[in-house]
Each structure stands twice: as C-alpha cells, then as structure tokens.
Amino acid sequence: MSDQPLLRAQGVRKSFGSVEVLKGIDLEVRQGQVVSLIGASGSGKTTFLRCVNLLEEHDAGDILLDGEPIGYRVENGRRRRLSETRVSAQRARIGMVFQQFNLFPHLTAEENVMLGLTKVLGKGKAEAREIAGHWLGRVGLEARRAHYPYQLSGGQQQRVAIARAVAMEPRLLLFDEVTSALDPELVAEVLGVMQQLAGSGMTMLVVSHEMLFVRDVSHHVVFMDGGRVAQAGPPAEVFDRPDSDRLRGFLGRFHGMFGGVRH
Amino acid sequence: MIQYYFDWSVITRNAGALGEALLLGLGLALVSLAIGTVIGLAAAYARLSCRPWLSWPVWAYVEFIRCMPLLLLIFFVYFGLPEFNISWFDKTQSFILTLSLYAGAYMSEVFRAGLGSMPKQYVEAAKAIGLRPWQRQRYVVLPVMFRITLPAISNNLISLFKDTSLAAAIAVPELTFVARRINADTFRVMEVWLSVSALYLITAYTIATLLRLVERRYASIR
C-alpha cells in the first residue's frame, strides 16, 4: 500500500447561504478501506459526500483524489474551476449510490448499467452488455436485466444502482444513506451486496444509519457533529469508547441494537 | 321550409380530390410539428438560460405568437414578408413557415414546463456516472422529458391538424379550400360541409386514439 491515501480531505468548508454546513473537514480514505460517516441528520455527512463527487462545490479546503484536487486546478498559485468536461471526467472515477436509487426511468436495468460504459468509457455495445450482465449477476438480478425500474422493488432498484456504479470500475464508491428509503425487509439484501463489495476490496465511503453494518464492515468510522469531525477511529474505539456526550447520546439512540455493547 | 334533396354523388365524384386535400392537411400538420419541435426545444433552452440576451428575444417571440390570431400570422407572412423583398416561398411553404413558428411557440412552453419539472435526481445520477453536460441532456433529460410531455405534444398535433384549415385563406389546396371550391362549383352545401366535417372529426379522433396508445406504452416507463 502506498503512503498516499486514495482520498484526502483537508479543511473542507461549505456554506449554503449564511449557514455553514461544513466547518473544516479533515478525512482520509486509503485504498481498499471502508470508511463510514455517522452522525445526526444535519451534521453535514451527506453534504460532504456530495462535495466529493462535485454535486456540491466546496468553498474552501481541498479534496484530493489520488493526490489530484477535485473540482479545480492551481494555476500560478490561484484556484481555477475546472471545465464541466474535466469535472465529468473526475466524477467518472468516483461512483455514487443514492438514497432514492435515481435509476434512469426510461432504461431497463441492463441499459442503466450500460449507459456509462458506452458513453463515458467508450466501450462497445456487446462488451458493455456483457459487463452489465456480470454485475447484475453479482447483485443477484441476472433475471431482471430487461426490467424497467418501475417493475422492480426498492431493494432491487438499489442493487441495480450499485451495479451501475461498480460497473464503471471507480476508484472510490460513495454510498449516501442507501437503505434509508427502503422497506425494512429489503434493507438486508442491499447491505449484503455492500458487504460483499467491501470484502472484494472496493474502497468505500459510506453515510449510513445502519450501525450494525457500520460497526461490522468499516475499517474506520467518522462521527460528525455540527459540520465538524467530532471523533474518528476504528469502529471498536468509536462505538465502545465514545469520548463525548454527543457521541454517547447519538449511539444511545441505537442502544439495544448492539446487544452486549455498553456505553 | 324549402325541401333539401341530398345528392351524395358530388362527394363520390370528388373523393380523390378530397382525399388528396386531407393528406396535404395531415402533411402540413406533421411537418410543422416536426419543425416546431426543433424550434420549441431551442426556445425552451433559451428561455431557461440565464443569459438575458438569449432569453428575452425568445420570450418576446413566444408571447407575440401566442397573443396573435393564427389567421393574421398567416397573412403577415404570406402578404407581409414579400413587401420586405422576402419572397422565396410559395403559398404552401409560407403556410408551413407560419404554422411551424406557431407550433414552436406553443411547444417551447410545453418543453419549458417539462424541463422545469425534471426531477433533479436523474441529472445527479447522470453526473455521477460521468456523463458530460450535453450527454446528460441527450441520453437522460430529453428522453425523460419527451415521455413527460407526450400528452401535451399529442394535444398540439391535433390542434395543428385542425389549424391547417386556415391555409384555405391563402388558397393552399387543403381540405377546407377544396371543399369550398366544390361547394362553389356544385352548390351542394350540406353534402360538402357535412362530409368535410366528418373527415376532420374522424381523422383528428384517429390521431388522438393512436397517440393515446403511444402514451400508454410510455406512461409506465417514465
């Protein structure tokens, strides 16, 4: 493993109007790691994730992917926004799975996965179809490849969305509360796929309220509070030795899920 | 009351001419819809642009067309433009030009609403897989928008087909014009206008039904 982290955020700030949502986030994700962001809603987790994929533009600080700044380049010591085409190229190296699945409604499951392969990566139709088939198989939906999103359950749609993101062979995969919009009985199938991906060495940055999953799968857990990183460390440390009342209070809400865990 | 004797032979004798005229009307509507769609799309994007030099002239165009009677627009293009030495067109082309501009204004409003109601999540998903701006429009936004706006597009096509009757005013040989000529030749008022009304009605209804089938095919897919 090289010394350089795959993703490094330094002092990332972001405001919406007069409200500062991110107040200087520092964070590292190393190749092959699963890093989870936890915290109450409004703590800035999702905003940070969206900044990484340039769906939001951060106001200050740096987000470096493989050492390369995301969203701007430095020219004569000054920041210059990248063109949309360059930004698109950066986004193609980062996959994202959304809370609401966001499948393209007019395309079948297979076509959803194929679109980026053919139009962004420039692969031929036949090759793209083969890759799509492979990944739909990996998420257990080989038989649903010709189905449109409206013909699929929420869990199935989310698994297609994961296949669509992974098929692009991204350097990093972002998960934004991907089970929050699912019926409880469908959560497990999506978490199962994510666990499988983590096991295969995919680098993942995950925003989630599924504390059991976060504790079992993450290498590193980041607790965010009020736009700052309040505590970060291995799951055992964060979950078993919370060093603030805020974190104890936050974890207390999930009490009972952890069985023997004491706070 | 004077007894009116129906003589439908006038219709059967002129069936060929009426059929041709009907097809011309359909063709005028379809061509104008096609050109109007292109104009409408460009105008909708221009209206939504944040550059005032682009959005303002388009706003003026749309409002002018929408607030003028179509018949006056037809006269303006056909009789007015040659006064400015613009006279490269015949009467049919002049009518197509007018109806296309007219359709374009209405279509731009349809598309503007369609683009405005586009759920943000589709665009974000398109961004996330790395599609470039024009690719996002081409492969995601436009296909979804056409499905959303299909009912409104159908409506416009039916209106345009009926509006082709106004071409009679500048002697384009579509259905209304041909009917008026047969009427003038034969004085079979009732036969001619009843038949022509039926032709308009049946054709418009057929278009509507066909388009409803298309809509149903796509409704669930959006």
Question: Three-state secondary structure along B43-92?
Answer: HHHHHHCCCHHHHHHHHHHHHHHHHCCHHHHHHHHHHHHHHHCCCCCCHH
Over residues B115-130, the mean pLDDT reads 94
The length of chain A is 263
Contact yes or no for A98/A180 (Cβ under 8 A): no
Round to whole Å and give the CA distance between B142 and B138.
6
For A4-30, what is each residue's pLDDT tens digit?
899 999 999 999 999 999 999 999 999
| Closest C-alpha among A52, A11, A43, A38 to residue A173 | A52
Contact yes or no for A197/A173 (Cβ under 8 A): yes
Round to whole Å and give the CA distance between B149 and B166.
26
What pLDDT is recorded for position A81?
87
- What is the band of A260 on the pLDDT scale with cuts at 50, 70, 90? very low
Please indicate if any CB of chain B lies within 8 Å of the CB of A162: no
**Higher-pLDDT residue of B105, A72:** B105
User: Under an 8 A CB cutoff, do B129 and A84 touch?
Assistant: no
User: Under an 8 A CB cutoff, do B125 and A91 touch?
Assistant: no
- Residue B107 distance to chain A (closest CA, Å): 22
φ, ψ of residue A206 to 5 degrees: the values are: -120, 125
Beta bridge partners of A19: A16
Element (H, E) at B179: helix B175-186
Q: Is the pLDDT of residue A261 over 90?
A: no
Domains and CATH numbers, chain B: 14-219 (1.10.3720.10)
Q: Is the pLDDT of residue A262 over 90?
A: no
Q: How far is CA A11 from CA A48, A60, A76, in A?
A: 11, 7, 21
Q: Is the pLDDT of residue B87 over 80?
A: no
In chain A, which residues have their Cβ closer than 8 Å to the Cβ of B140?
A: 104
Q: What is the ipTM of this complex?
A: 0.91
- Residue A77 distance to chain B (closest CA, Å): 28
In chain B, which residues have their Cβ closer than 8 Å to the Cβ of A100?
A: 121
For B49-72, what is each residue's pLDDT tens digit?
889 999 999 999 999 999 999 999
- What is the band of B1 on the pLDDT scale with cuts at 50, 70, 90? low
Residue B82: count other Cβ atoms within 10 Å of its Cβ.
13
From its phi and psi, is residue B107 left (phi > 0), alpha (psi between -120 and 50) or beta?
A: alpha
For A191-230, what is each residue's pLDDT tens digit?
999 999 999 999 999 999 999 999 999 999 999 999 999 9
Contact yes or no for A93/A63 (Cβ under 8 A): no
For A114-143, what is each residue's pLDDT tens digit?
999 999 999 999 999 999 999 999 999 999
